[in-house]
Amino acid sequence: MNIAVAMSGGVDSSVAAALLKEEGHDVIGVTMQLRPPARIKGSDGVSDSAVKAGEVADHLGIPHHTIDLTDIFAEKVISNFCREYGRGRTPNPCVRCNRYIKFGVLMEKAREIGADLIATGHYARSEKDIKTGKYLLKKGADTAKDQSYFLYRLTQEQLGLALFPVGGMFKNKVRQMANELDLPVTDRPESQEICFIPGDNYVEFLEKNLPGSVQPGPIVNEQGEPLGEHRGIYSYTVGQRRGMGIAAAEPLYVTAIKSESNTIIVGPRESIYSQELTAADINWISGVGPDFPVTLKARIRYRHPEAEAMVTPMDDDTVHVRFTEPQMAVTPGQSVVFYDEDTVVGGGTIIKSGS
């Protein structure tokens, strides 16, 4: 079996490659070139991630390819990221990258160079349901590192071609294995940043990539009374408290962003709780929706705790979600992902909070 491993130059994907090689598979390392790289001596103009991944591949004795996906990444991920912030929404670029790039274009490129399957270092698991013949997407065994939230848009075809070798492992065991194998990325820190934004300074990034976006506008309370001026709606997200530069007798939070009027609305903490939301661009992992209405657990952003909710269809591509208990900072642009215990049922993009 020829398996391409999407190698980022990090510990998780490096160990994934090592595990598959130990199992006797023919492993091919592939690294996505997503941004024009800074020049690195001896790197032939590839990114630091590609250099590190190449070192791991050499250590493991497997071939390694760097695949230039700069243009398609800019089109599908970066441009969307900028547009969404310009609309007053808070996007999740990792979800789009997995959907269109890692399990889309990269998967196609990997098959062109002879791979049968593609593997990643995600902390998630997949298995085939014997009864239905459908592929299931499940949480990673290490719940503190579970990344199934970012994979909810995968199709049955994509899941059938995907492997998650470290999905059943805990992070400390993965690092231990990297040490035992003396992999050259053992001490590399775990990245917590958006990969295409230097220093995680997304405001500066947006100012450079959204021409004319620095348009000041009013900050008002829920009664419409002016409280101050913002520097541009791209600098704010629902639930934000700090950095608004306004004085008030009580802490105020961003409760809504109105792109059409270039206005930020703020209110007290209780105003950022919502019991309902509407989500669109829905993907069901099985390919079809469950029997509606259905009670599931829902997560409204990556680190947010799951909460019980009733999910009801509005049309083929939109659902209404009502939580048993109100949730803090339901944010348009973010993903809501539905779970049945440890199985991902599906999810979509939040387009509105409230009824």
Q: What is the pLDDT of residues 2-32, one digit of tens each?
A: 999 999 999 999 999 999 999 999 999 999 9
Same domain, 224 and 281: no
Same domain, 328 and 189: no
Residue 347 has pLDDT above 60, yes or no: yes
Same domain, 158 and 187: yes
94 catalytic? Reply is: no
How many domains, in total, are found in the chain?
A: 3
Assigned domain for 236 exists:
yes
* Of 263, 310, 285, nearest in space to 139 by CA: 285
Assigned domain for 206 exists:
no
| Residue 317 belongs to domain with CATH number | 2.40.30.10
Same domain, 36 and 182: yes
Same domain, 20 and 162: yes
Q: How confident is the model at residue 42 (pLDDT cuts 50, 70, 90)?
A: very low
CA atoms within 13 A on the CB side of 307: 22
Same domain, 125 and 60: yes
Write the CB contacts of 75 (distance below 8 Å, at least 6 apart in sequence).
none
Domain C-terminal end among 173, 199, 225: 199
Assigned domain for 207 exists:
no
Assigned domain for 251 exists:
yes
**Other C-beta atoms within 10 Å of 57: how many?**
22
Token look-up 């002016």 returns: 226
195 catalytic? Reply is: yes
Q: How far apart are CA 14 and CA 21, in angstroms?
A: 11
Task: Give the tens place of pLDDT for each residue, 115-150.
Answer: 999 999 999 999 999 999 999 999 999 999 999 999
Angle between helices 11-22 and 48-60 (to 10 degrees): 20
Question: 309-335 burial, b if ≥16 CB within 10 A, otherwise e?
Answer: bbbeeeeeeebbbbbeeebebbbbbbb
Assigned domain for 168 exists:
yes
Q: How far apart are CA 194 and CA 202, in angstroms?
A: 9
**Identity (one letter) of the amino acid at 205?**
F
Residue 39 has pLDDT above 60, yes or no: no
CA distances from 191 to 70, 95, 196, 337 (A): 20, 16, 12, 23
233 neighbors 217 (Cβ within 8 angstroms): yes
- 72, 195, 210, 280: the catalytic one is 195
Query: What is the reported pLDDT for 45?
Result: 62
Same domain, 140 and 96: yes
Q: How far apart are CA 329 and CA 270, in angstroms?
A: 10
Token look-up 């019980």 returns: 308
6 neighbors 118 (Cβ within 8 angstroms): yes
Task: Give the tens place of pLDDT for each residue, 300-333.
Answer: 999 999 999 999 999 889 999 999 999 999 999 9
DSSP 224: -
Same domain, 20 and 75: yes
Query: What is the reported pLDDT for 37?
Result: 58
- 97, 106, 220, 256: the catalytic one is 97
Q: Are strands 26-33 and 64-68 parallel, antiparallel or unpaired?
A: parallel
* 3-class secondary-structure state, position 51: helix
Same domain, 163 and 252: no
Tokens linked to 353: 């909070």
Going across the sheet that includes 217-220, the strands are 226-230, 217-220, 263-267, 253-258
Domain C-terminal end among 144, 175, 199: 199
Same domain, 104 and 187: yes
| Residue 161 belongs to domain with CATH number | 3.40.50.620
Same domain, 159 and 221: no
Assigned domain for 78 exists:
yes
| Residue 245 belongs to domain with CATH number | 2.30.30.280
Task: Give the tens place of pLDDT for each residue, 159-207.
Answer: 999 999 999 999 999 999 999 999 998 887 777 678 888 788 888 898 8
Terminal-residue alpha carbon distance, the chain: 50
Burial of 273 per CB tally in 10 Å (0-12, 13-18, 19+): middle
Same domain, 174 and 122: yes
Assigned domain for 205 exists:
no
Write the CB contacts of 166 (distance below 8 Å, at least 6 apart in sequence).
12, 15, 16, 19, 121, 122, 123, 140, 174
Q: Are strands 117-119 and 162-163 parallel, antiparallel or unpaired?
A: parallel
Q: How far apart are CA 158 and CA 156, in angstroms?
A: 5
Q: How far apart are CA 237 and CA 353, in angstroms?
A: 13
CA distances from 28 to 18, 24, 88 (A): 11, 12, 41
Assigned domain for 297 exists:
yes
Q: How far apart are CA 18 and CA 27, in angstroms?
A: 9
* Of 90, 89, 107, nearest in space to 98 by CA: 107
Q: How far apart are CA 125 and CA 122, in angstroms?
A: 8
Residue 212 has pLDDT above 80, yes or no: no
Domain C-terminal end among 154, 169, 199: 199
- Structural domain span for residue 337: 272-353
